[in-house]
Amino acid sequence: MTEQLIELNVTGMHCNNCALSVHKLLEKKGLHNILVDFAGEEVKFTKDNEASLPDIIKSIEQLGYKVVEDPALHAPKFYEKVENKFLFCAIFTAPLLLHMISPWHVLHMPIVQLLLCLPVFIVGCVHFGKSAWHSVKGGTPNMDVLIFIGSTSAFVYSLVGTIQNLGEQYQFYETCATIITLVLLGNVFEKRSVNQTTSAVKDLVKIQQVNANRIIDGTIEVISARDVRPGDVLIVNHGDKVPVDGDILEGNASVDESMLTGESIPVEKEKYDKIIGGTIVVQGNFRMIATKTGSNTVLSQIIELMKKAQAAKPPVQKLGDKVASIFVPAVVLISLLTFVLTYFITDKGLQQSLMNAIAVLVISCPCAMGLATPTAVMVGLGRAAKGGILIKGGDTIEAVADTKYVVFDKTGTLTTGKFSIGEIKIEGETPIEQVCGIIVAIEERSNHPIARSLVAELKGKPQNKVILKLVSEEKGLGMRAEDVEGNHYFLGSAKSNNDGLFNLALYKNQVLLAQIAIDDTIKPEATALIAQLKKMNIVPVLLSGDRQSRCTKVAHTIGIDEVHSEKLPDEKLSVIDIYKQKGKTIMIGDGINDAPALTKADVGVSMNDASQIAIQSARVILLNTDLQSVVKFLQISRHTLLTIKQNLFWAFAYNVVAIPVAALGFLNPMVGAFTMAFSDVVVIGNSIRLKSKRIG
């Protein structure tokens, strides 16, 4: 049976512990490739067994979550919103707390306190109880178990006191109500804060939600961008967002591509230029033909990569997850132990023993641990995306920590990738027009920067056209071709022992036709980048397939000391392997020949204008070709990892200190519930700080 990919929209998950519960449930059902994103409200998995989808959905909903068709269209009922639950409970809890300072007799009556507490307790049972029960049943007890046990203990204790008329010392209705109300307040803070951490993806999704002007039989029809199909002709005017990816048929415009590259200067577009969905027409207008729509557009792929990246767990989170999974049973055990020791050994009475035990339950906060990593990762990825840096996985952030080497490809990475022909040296009597025609016909089929530059420069020169029937690209070597007359061509690295002036050679039927000397220019920011890397104690390395003389010249100009030239793709792999054994290694490249090395490195970084294979092989894509993005990426990664460690420290330290304090009776349950909610806010607030924090 073939594997089937299932995608579900699940609402109601508010932290990583919720995601963990769903993940474990799906694992038990024998499902694979499980991805649970609590912030994006998405669950993905593949199934190759007989587990029925309705049964899976029912099991998820039994955990207390809701599976909906479209979260954007799903409007929760009034009483389902956590904000409304909090306000309802607060109305009844306020007079209960008032009795502690007010001499008003009616508020001290047990029956009045019971009636005020009962609605709050019912809301708490529905909100926390259902989730707690199903999480225990599923073998993954969550935070709600602690809240439910704590509030229920206080309510039952008070109810028994009221029925048996045992007096005021048995009235703890305000404790029960306050626990529920304050935890709901914490949930409100969590929900709003998590919404802020996921704003980057949500902003990108909003960009997609535009209309398109489709031309049908000479008339303009306004449709949703979702309904555009490949081949549709669209008109885009001044101020419009481009609805989908395509090519310009006629017209010209200045287009703001900052959404994609982080570069604020508009890009001039004209006939035949590619246009990307989500970019904004600052000036001008044009007609375009849609080439990529729906999930195939660049923007959709970026959104998908962002979602996967946010859900990918850095190794630092594994410790948090491990602790969170055993945390709830451990806290329940500590709470029972607190009750037994306080009641039987210290002889402080039932009331004090119960209050200490309840305080332990409500002071504990695995939610803070669960939120520590994903919130920081989401903010870090969002900040990187807005700066034109697309990181494919949250685990990539930790992989670049303590980077020792950054290995650069030369062409198109440290250099502009825009080449000029210095000289074409003809061997034999072949006319120059014939040579130019062969070069253009072959290089038109390649995506390499050298090929694109050769074609652009030679197209304006006289040439005899050649019709090719077969062209193939060999990694790191060059292009092979065959024309309609059966002649075989090779255009690639020059092998002759010259002074390095000529770096390309053209062969026809294994006979040398011409040698070509080409020069590329170094990117203006390359020298400053290398200097910054050295300041960060990172060793820059040049690794290229180009001639030694050219590589040495570029390396000397920008300040790189370690140079590896004339390397084929498999040789590049060996070089990367050597550096990896010495320390964390990042590889930055852009060509097909770089793809294996990008995959082999600890982290592969690709330029946006790179070949598709290089982009797929890399874990980071620099949408802005400015090399300063490399430093920005390293700085954002370092600060994100620092934020994760700070969050985990505060979450662990909070529990390590708070639980013993509560067990010894120095904290009452109400203060415990408030500080528990506050600890979540501290962790999320620290993550949100990363949005605007100075990282330079």
285-293 mean pLDDT:
91
**pLDDT, mean over the chain:** 79
CA dihedral for 290, 296, 301, 307, sign (positive or negative) = positive
Confidence of residue 533 (pLDDT cuts 50, 70, 90): very high
pLDDT tens by residue, 375-431: 787 788 888 888 888 887 667 777 787 889 999 988 778 887 667 787 888 888 888
Q: Return d(Cα 454, Cα 461) in angstroms, integer.
A: 11
| Highest mean predicted confidence (pLDDT) among 176-190, 244-258, 598-612 | 244-258
Nearby residues of 134 by Cβ (< 8 Å), 6 or more positions away? 62, 63, 64
What pLDDT score does 370 carry?
62
Catalytic center residues: 409
For residue 64, list its beta bridge partners: none
Structure tokens, 538 = 């990172």
For residue 199, list its beta bridge partners: none
DSSP state letters, 505-556: EEEETTEEEEEEEEEEEEPTTHHHHHHHHHHTT-EEEEE-SS-HHHHHHHHH
pLDDT tens by residue, 100-141: 666 666 667 888 888 999 999 999 888 888 777 777 776 767
What pLDDT score does 693 carry?
82
User: Which of 477, 586, 594, 475 lies closest to 541 in space, CA to CA?
Assistant: 586
Domain segments of the chain as ranges: 4-76, 80-198+312-377+644-689, 210-298, 388-414+523-632, 416-521
Which CATH number applies to 4-76?
A: 3.30.70.100
Q: Return d(Cα 293, Cα 299) in angstroms, integer.
A: 10
More confident residue, 249 or 454: 249
CATH topology of domain 210-298: 2.70.150
Confidence of residue 611 (pLDDT cuts 50, 70, 90): very low
pLDDT of residue 696 exceeding 70, the answer is no
N residues, the chain:
696
What pLDDT score does 369 carry?
66
- The 3-state DSSP class for residue 658 equals helix
pLDDT tens by residue, 487-505: 999 998 776 555 556 778 8
pLDDT tens by residue, 323-376: 556 777 887 888 889 888 888 887 777 777 877 887 777 676 556 666 677 778
pLDDT tens by residue, 34-63: 878 776 677 888 877 666 788 888 888 877
Confidence of residue 262 (pLDDT cuts 50, 70, 90): very low
What pLDDT score does 6 carry?
82
Nearby residues of 72 by Cβ (< 8 Å), 6 or more positions away? none
pLDDT of residue 656 exceeding 60, the answer is yes
What pLDDT score does 350 carry?
77
Give me the amino acid identity at 427.
E
137-158 mean pLDDT:
75
Own/partner contacts of 486-489, CB < 8 Å, gap of 24 or more, are 489/438, 489/442
pTM of the model: 0.57
Q: Percent of the chain, pLDDT > 70?
A: 79
For residue 35, list its beta bridge partners: 44
CATH 3.40.50.1000 fits 388-414+523-632, yes or no: yes
pLDDT of residue 320 exceeding 60, the answer is no
For residue 287, list its beta bridge partners: 235, 250
CATH topology of domain 416-521: Calcium-transporting ATPase, cytoplasmic domain N (3.40.1110)
pLDDT tens by residue, 536-595: 899 999 998 777 877 888 899 999 999 998 887 778 888 988 998 999 899 988 755 566
